[in-house]
Structure 1
Amino acid sequence: MNPPNFIYSGLLFAAGLICLLVALLIWQMRRPAKGAITLVVLLLALSWWDITYAIFWANLPGPSPHFWLDITYLGAVTVPTCLLIFALQLNSLENWLNRTLFVTLSLEPLLVTLALWTDPWHNLFFGGQRELNAGMILSGGPVFWANLVYSYVLILMAFILFVRSFSRSAGLYRRQFATILLGMGFTWLNSIIFVLGLSPLPGADNTPFSFTIAALFFAHAIFRYRFLDIVPIARSMLVDNMSDGIVVLDAHNRLVDMNPIAQNLLPQAQIGDPLEKIQERLPKSIRQLHNESNLRAEIALSDPVRYLDFRISPILDKRQQALGRLIVWRDITELKLLQIELNELATRDMLTHAYNRRHFEKLAQVEWARSARFKHSMAIVLLDIDHFKNVNDTQGHQAGDHVLVEFVKLCKQAKRNQDLFARWGGEEFIFLLPETEGEQALQFARRLCEIIYQTPIHGEGYRAAITCSLGVAASSTAHDSLEAMFRRADHALYEAKRTGRNRAVLWEGETQQSAP
């Protein structure tokens, strides 16, 4: 047994108490944070390692000559495992920690410790090389070397993950990870010093000290830079879970990244594919945008019907040199359909779905301006269902509504694509006929009047034979106006009703032509 070394023992005991204190503070202040519980376990393992090693150097008696040295190993084998799990959690890679991996990582420390304690039965840990008065375990059998390599692999993986976090962060987050990396650097520096035989603690294992220094850097990051309090949102949490589709192209128009929503639109696309190859799978409306570098557009897709808010933005470096393009789209189908529905409510009559009067007047102003600019004629046809009140009185208002709907269908079937048609009010309706002379409009009104007369409307338990009266007015002089045309069409409609209904009348100044 080595003689007591109270300097080593005191330093180790102080280190163990510091780790224990930091673990308690994290438990109290940061417990809900991602990775906090793993860090607490890591610090408790370090505290166990330090304090049991301190007891060993204090030369306190134990159940066996190597008891206090052997029991330190439970902490030593736990620290690398916790360090890797902690690094995975901070990088939001918990999905890597499936049940099989987690059980493997958790069982390894226990199995190695069990192999150490049962070595006299199988000689796999020390391999018959144990020295009676050694202050540390430097060599052994296959289990010892396998665990040593395994532990350093875990530490290296954790270090790489912390470097990854550092490289992807900025500002406060970057300072957090820089502090963590400095702490991790001490563990690697210790290994180099130990291998070179330059250890400042002759005869002792300085590894627990290096990990304790790393723990102090962790504590500094926690209390100085609010580590585990303000934590960056990782790409997997932000980009991968976004409802927007995201595609990143490099300067050579190759696909370098995309999220799951983008994969739904491009199920066969692979990282590294050129844009030309990806375009083959895109809808035509999107393919047309392949040369754009800064654009926002609304894209309509079919089969199924979808609407996308599509944006293309350049990716620039600090010198404003192009690195590639960022393509983002958002599915606005629900919003667009609601917009269409609201537009319908604002522009259409709710019963017949013909344009309402307000929207018709707006469109009529546009058409009037166009006709005046190109010196084209236009005509207005105002029509009213004859004796419509009788339908409501005899068949009921539901039947009256059905008659209006069917009447509008007949009118729409009779008009040209460029003609405007609207419900003017009650049982009155109106046509605007672009590029149409008065006589042409009158002929149209006559045909429509005949169609209505020849087409009775059938409903549940009734047959409505209806007629209509029509007033026609056409643009006359350069000094004419849309309001004047409305008045003339109204006069013509009144004249059609006065002279017997079921007819069309063309009003021309003080004269009119009647067509029964």
Structure 2
Amino acid sequence: MVNKKPTSHPHNEPPELAQALLALMHAQGEVARLSEREQLFSSLLDSVNAVLWAFDWESRQVLYVSPAYERIFGRPAHLLLADFNQWRDSIYPDDLDYAERSLAEVLVKGAVEDREYRIIDADGNVRWLSDKCFINQQTDNEHRLIVVGMAEDITEKKRVEGELQLLATTDVLTQSSNRRHFFDCAQEAFEVARREHTPLTFLLLDIDDFKQINDTYGHQEGDYVLQHIADTGKAVLRHGDLFGRIGGEEFAAVFPGCTPQVAEQIAERLQREIQRLQFSHDQQVFGVTVSQGLTGISEVDSSLDSLFARADAAMYQAKRQGKNQIVIG
């Protein structure tokens, strides 16, 4: 009897080899899935318009910075990873002290979520950042303090806020303070003067015969007059003085730290500069004059309203006395 060798079959591998092949296939699948996850994570980081960062507090070393850093700061990430001073050098000089001090607060608070400061990007543009930071509680090394954070570019938000603030505080026609903003600022100046016992002078200015200007030359020409009066006022007043249009053809000014005698000299200069203005309409040339009322703070003044009332009375006295003059009340 002849013994036949069993025929080998590709499906009859030893069990150990089959298990090894299955394990390899599983591992390859895991690697593929891991690669997909890494690609997805990398894609997400690329799309986030905020800088994610990690910082070793003791070594003063940036451990990680996301791709948005190069878009927002305009600088290579590898330079920041090599030298933390790259971050410091990019901060707007006036904001550097605050940026460093608020970052250090994370050591006490554990998280700081209200940091806003400016940077200068590689092209010289000023950008606003909202930079939140937290202490990483999951570090394996208890002696290693890692701070993580997220810096978001809020430049556009700040621009819109600035425009809204300007609209809320500025007279659209003359680009000077509107009535509400002027009196808010004047009230603050009044309270400082009362508290510190320093002089303060209030001025009211009214354009003489403004209705006649509108009736004769038209409202557009009247607006032109208002704009030039406002420009003259802003040019003549000192830095720190307040100036605004408080209604119609009426303007007001507050001179902190200024006695009525000194303020009268400023008002006289303002009077002369306004008299030099010339306007033309249909080949007709005309000028304008103003009446002004001045008053200074006294010990009996308990509110800004009393100064306003005296300045108003003085201004109308100037009107009654022939206009184009200054009266101290």
Q: What band does the TM-score fall into relative to the shorter chain? A: 0.7 to 0.9
Evaluate the alpha carbon distance shift between residue 277 and residue 299 of structure 1 in structure 2; reply closer, same or farther with a 3 A threshold. closer
Write the mapping of 1:291-306 to structure 2, written as runs, cut at 5 A: 292-293=103-104, 294=106, 295=112, 296-301=114-119, 303-306=124-127
Helix, strand or coil at the partner of 2:251: strand
Write the mapping of 1:9-408 to structure 2, written as runs, cut at 5 A: 133-136=7-10, 199-200=14-15, 206=18, 210=22, 234-251=40-57, 252-264=59-71, 265=73, 267-270=75-78, 272-276=81-85, 279-280=88-89, 283-284=92-93, 288=97, 289-290=99-100, 292-293=103-104, 294=106, 295=112, 296-301=114-119, 303-317=124-138, 322-408=144-230
Residue identity in the other structure for 2:22: S
Residue identity in the other structure for 1:259: S
Helix, strand or coil at the partner of 1:346: helix
> What is residue 176 of structure 1 aligned with on the other side?
none
Task: Determine if contact 1:253/1:324 at 8 Å carries over to the other structure.
Answer: no
Hey, what's the Cα distance between the residues in 2 that align with 1:278 and 1:474?
Answer: 51
Q: CA deviation at 1:455?
A: 2.2
Helix, strand or coil at the partner of 1:239: helix
Hey, what's the Cα distance between the residues in 1 that align with 2:273 and 2:6?
Answer: 116
Q: CA deviation at 1:134?
A: 3.0
Q: CA deviation at 1:413?
A: 0.6
Residue identity in the other structure for 1:334: E
Helix, strand or coil at the partner of 1:328: strand
Q: CA deviation at 1:440?
A: 1.9
Residue identity in the other structure for 1:262: Y
Greater radius of gyration (CA): 1
Hey, what's the Cα distance between the residues in 1 that align with 2:303 and 2:92?
Answer: 47
Residue identity in the other structure for 2:84: L
Q: What are structure 2's unaligned runs of at least 5 residues? A: 107-111
Q: CA deviation at 1:277?
A: 5.2
Evaluate the alpha carbon distance shift between residue 409 and residue 280 of structure 1 in structure 2; reply closer, same or farther with a 3 A threshold. closer
Helix, strand or coil at the partner of 2:136: strand
- State the Cα RMSD in Å: 3.4
| Offset from partner CA, 1:71-96 (integer Å, 9 cap, x none) | xxxxxxxxxxxxxxxxxxxxxxxxxx
Q: CA deviation at 1:237?
A: 3.5
Write the mapping of 1:419-458 to structure 2, written as runs, cut at 5 A: 419-457=241-279
> What is residue 141 of structure 1 aligned with on the other side?
none
Hey, what's the Cα distance between the residues in 1 that align with 2:119 and 2:322?
Answer: 53
Hey, what's the Cα distance between the residues in 2 that align with 1:209 and 1:275?
Answer: 49
Task: Determine if contact 2:128/2:154 at 8 Å carries over to the other structure.
Answer: yes
> What is residue 47 of structure 1 aligned with on the other side?
none
| Offset from partner CA, 1:493-512 (integer Å, 9 cap, x none) | 111001100001111xxxxx
What is the number of residues matched between the two proteins? Answer: 303
Task: Determine if contact 1:402/1:459 at 8 Å carries over to the other structure.
Answer: no
Q: CA deviation at 1:298?
A: 1.7
Evaluate the alpha carbon distance shift between residue 385 and residue 281 of structure 1 in structure 2; reply closer, same or farther with a 3 A threshold. closer
Hey, what's the Cα distance between the residues in 2 that align with 1:212 and 1:304?
Answer: 54
Q: CA deviation at 1:458?
A: 5.0
Which aligned runs of 4 or more in structure 1 are off by greater than 6 angstroms?
A: none
Residue identity in the other structure for 2:49: S
Q: CA deviation at 1:281?
A: 5.1
Helix, strand or coil at the partner of 1:489: helix
Q: CA deviation at 1:313?
A: 2.6
| Offset from partner CA, 1:390-448 (integer Å, 9 cap, x none) | 22112211111111111100011110111101111000000111112222222222221
Residue identity in the other structure for 1:447: R
Task: Determine if contact 1:391/1:464 at 8 Å carries over to the other structure.
Answer: no
Hey, what's the Cα distance between the residues in 2 that align with 1:272 and 1:403?
Answer: 59
Q: CA deviation at 1:273?
A: 0.9
Q: CA deviation at 1:462?
A: 5.2
The alignment-based identity, stated in percent, is: 29
Evaluate the alpha carbon distance shift between residue 308 and residue 208 of structure 1 in structure 2; reply closer, same or farther with a 3 A threshold. closer
Question: Greater shift after overlay, 426-435 or 287-296?
Answer: 287-296
Hey, what's the Cα distance between the residues in 2 that align with 1:438 and 1:346?
Answer: 31
Q: CA deviation at 1:250?
A: 2.7
Evaluate the alpha carbon distance shift between residue 383 and residue 298 of structure 1 in structure 2; reply closer, same or farther with a 3 A threshold. same
Residue identity in the other structure for 1:273: A
User: Higher relative contact order at CA 8 Å, sep ≥6: structure 1 or structure 2?
Assistant: 2
Residue identity in the other structure for 1:299: Y
> What is residue 163 of structure 1 aligned with on the other side?
none
Give me the TM-score of the superposition, normalised by structure 2: 0.80
Task: Determine if contact 1:379/1:437 at 8 Å carries over to the other structure.
Answer: yes
Evaluate the alpha carbon distance shift between residue 381 and residue 285 of structure 1 in structure 2; reply closer, same or farther with a 3 A threshold. closer
Evaluate the alpha carbon distance shift between residue 437 and residue 390 of structure 1 in structure 2; reply closer, same or farther with a 3 A threshold. same
Task: Determine if contact 1:379/1:441 at 8 Å carries over to the other structure.
Answer: yes
> What is residue 233 of structure 2 aligned with on the other side?
411
Residue identity in the other structure for 2:116: E
